[in-house]
Structure 1
Amino acid sequence: MAGFVLRVKTKSGQKIVNGLAPHDKVFQLKAKLAELTGVPVAALHVLSGFPPKPVNLDATDATIERIGIISGDTLIVEEKQIMFRSNDFGRSHIVDQESFANAPGVLMRKVVPADNSCLFTSVGYVLNGKVDTSCASFMREIIANAVAADPDEYSEAFLGRPNADYCKWILKADSWGGAIELSILSKFYGLEIAVIDSINAIINRFGEDQHYAQRVFLIFDGIHYDPLYLEPLDSGSIQTIFPTEDERMLLEAAQLAREARSSRQFTDVQKFTLMCIDCKIRLNGQAAAQQHAKDTGHTNFGEVAA
């Protein structure tokens, strides 16, 4: 069936799948995706829909249409890690059940590692319901590819450095993510990302103007990002993705921002002290660290006692 076409997003860019039909088997789809992306069949992790949800590829003898994939769908293909630590697996994860959306619960923070990739780990958590630090490299490549593909929008004036230099920088494991990276990930995953700023008690919403159907929440304390999830009072399943029309969750997030500020759950980025790991110079505040990075190219910093 020549008219059956799938779009595929991978860390190396967007691709098109031709040569399949709705009645073809899932194992044929897996073989095609492996061929197209270079990801081994056993390591394929495929997401589809809005918000992106995992596609069940285990029923290899089922037809493609049987697992809910239709012509024109966009598939996000990632390479899953074969080896996991026992505590890497997340809890049962609900993203869009209406009966759950109105259930009583508490918006809570999930603490993720402070390893310079906390933003990416946090986004991975709200998408998949588990802490998986390996997703950072994939997201860094998504961002680098998006920036490299549009040098006019992502100019040196916008990025604070030449486009090519930024792309090399963001791929490094010790480079911190922020507003630019959040806006790109919001667009890539088709989700509004609402970030609670506990310094100023405000919510910054990335993708708000795109009218996405789904929203996720992160909290930022000036240095570190963590994901937020709804802990229900009467269920063992958490929820991390919410309808954008759900004003209740926005109100709860705003309240959480006020509480975090009043209890000083933030780092004053103007006063905290960093050390450049490369040259051992102490720097006072985020602005000084950013200027040092621009002057020297050093990007490896650690927080130290003042």
Structure 2
Amino acid sequence: MAGFVLRVKTKSGQKVVNGLTLQDKISELKAKLSELTGISSKSLHVLAGFPPKAVDLSKEAATLEESGILSGDTLIVEEKLTVCNGEEKPEEIPRSHIVNSENIVESPGVLMKKIVPADNSCLFTSIGYVLNGKVDLTCASFMREIIANTVAADQEEYSEAILGRPNLEYCNWIQKPESWGGAIELSILSRFFGIEIVVVDSINAIINRFGEDQQYAHRVFLIFDGIHYDPLYLEPLDRGSIQTLFPANNERLLEEATQLAKEAKSSRQYTDVQKFTLKCMVCNVMLSGQVAAQQHAKDTGHTSFGEVAA
């Protein structure tokens, strides 16, 4: 079948697979993906569709058509971590996620916070978790590149007035591992992944929605305490599969997220960004508040900061 094309997203960027047909086997797809990504065929982990679901690569004799893979589909390709005996590490296998919207609405549970490392990439790690169900510290560079490419491609929309710095300077800045993400980055990733991102703001006791006007089918939830993002998931009452992807028409969870924001503020689960102390990791200067840190970065070019415990 001429013109059969698959788009492949990896942490190193987006690529294209040509030369396959609907009647080719899963084994041939694995060989192509392995050649394209450098990941051994036995370590391939492939997701397709939205919400992303794992593609069964074990039935190597099955055709692409039988596996539901069509021309124009986008595949997300990751590498499974292995130990010396060739089996997956148990701690790397995420708890199963419910992604069938017919079941999600009827699943009672409680929104819970998953703690991710405070390493300046918490926003990206959190989005990786709600999409893939695991804490993957390597996904940040992939998302930073997505953001830089998006901003560079539209210098009119992403002007200096919007970014707070020249377009090229921003593109270089956001790709540095010490640079923090925020509203601009959330809006870009919402558009790229085709999901609404709801952020529970525990400082102001509100929720902020990114992609709300795009009528996306699904939404995810994060919580922000002033300097740090964590992902939220629904812990079911029966201790079954957790959920991080939800139908966008689930108003009950939106109400619960709003209530969570109020509870987090009332119990002071936030950092006062005007009063917390930061240490410049380059010159060891102590700085009081976010504004002081931003001014220091502007004056010195230093962008690596660590919070000092009270």
1:156 maps to which residue?
160
- CA gap of 1:161–1:54, structure 2 versus 1, over 3 A, is farther
- Looking at structure 2, the residues matched to 88 and 75 of structure 1 have their Cα atoms a distance apart, in angstroms, of 21
The code of the aligned residue for 1:99 comes to N
**Cα distance 1:260–1:138, how it changes in 2: closer, same or farther (>3 A)?**
same
Which residue of structure 1 aligns with residue 287 of structure 2?
A: 283
Tell me which moved more, 16-25 or 146-155.
146-155
Q: Which of 273, 276, 295 is 1:272 aligned to?
A: 276
Deviation at 1:86, TM superposition (A): 5.0
The two structures, once aligned, show a CA RMSD in angstroms of: 2.1
Tell me which of 103, 108, 126 is aligned to 1:99: 103
Give 1:120's aligned residue.
124
C-alpha change, 1:33 and 1:231, in structure 2 (3 Å) is: same
Name the stretch that deviates more: 84-93 or 111-120: 84-93
Structure 2 residue aligned with 1:242? 246
Change (3 A) 1:292 1:45: farther
Q: Distance in 2 between matches of 1:215 and 1:68?
A: 24
**Following superposition, which runs of at least 4 residues in structure 1 exceed 6 angstroms of deviation?**
none
Uncovered stretches (5+) of structure 1, i.e. residues with no partner = none
Alignment of 1:106-185 (within 5 A): 106-185=110-189
Aligned position for 2:71? 71
Asked if 2 retains the 8 angstrom alpha-carbon contact of 1:13 and 1:145, the reply is no
Number of residues of Structure 1 aligned to a counterpart in Structure 2: 306
- Deviation sequence 1:89-139 (CA, Å, 0-9, x none): 322222225234312111111111111111111111111222222222222
Q: Write the letter of the residue equivalent to 1:289.
A: A
Residue range with higher mean Cα deviation, 99-108 or 71-80:
71-80
Cα distance in 1 between the residues matched to 2:183 and 2:196: 13
CA pair 85-6 structure 1, distance change in 2 beyond 3 A = closer
Distance 1:220 1:286 in 2: 15
Residues 120-160 of structure 1, C-alpha deviations (whole Å, 9 max, x = no match): 11111111222222222222222222223333322333222
Equivalent residue of 2:303, what SS?
coil
- 1:37 to partner: Cα distance: 4.3
Give the 5 Å matches for 1:248-259: 248-259=252-263
Deviation at 1:162, TM superposition (A): 2.6
- Alignment correspondent of 2:44: 44
Q: 1:195 to 1:252 in 2, by over 3 A?
A: same
Q: Within the alignment, does 1:206 sit opposite 2:210 as a pair?
A: yes
User: Which residue does 2:22 correspond to in 1?
Assistant: 22
Residue of structure 2 equivalent to 1:4: 4
Judging changes above 3 Å, is the alpha-carbon distance between structure 1 residues 152 and 77 closer, same or farther for their aligned structure 2 residues?
A: farther
Residue number in structure 1 paired with 2:221: 217
Question: 2:121 & 2:49 partners in 1: Cα distance?
Answer: 26
Seen in structure 2, the aligned counterparts of structure 1 residues 3 and 209 have a Cα distance that, compared at 3 Å, is same
Asked if structure 1 preserves the Cα contact closer than 8 Å seen for 2:200 and 2:261, the reply is yes
What's the CA shift string for 1:218-260, capped at 9, x where partnerless?
Answer: 0000011111111111242111100000101100100101100
Instruction: Give distance in 2, aligned partners of 1:134 and 1:124.
Output: 9
TM-score, normalised relative to structure 1:
0.91
Structure 2 unaligned runs (5+)? none
Letter in 1 for 2:5: V
- TM-score normalised by L of structure 2: 0.90
Change (3 A) 1:91 1:147: same
User: Could you say what secondary structure the match of 2:66 adopts?
Assistant: helix
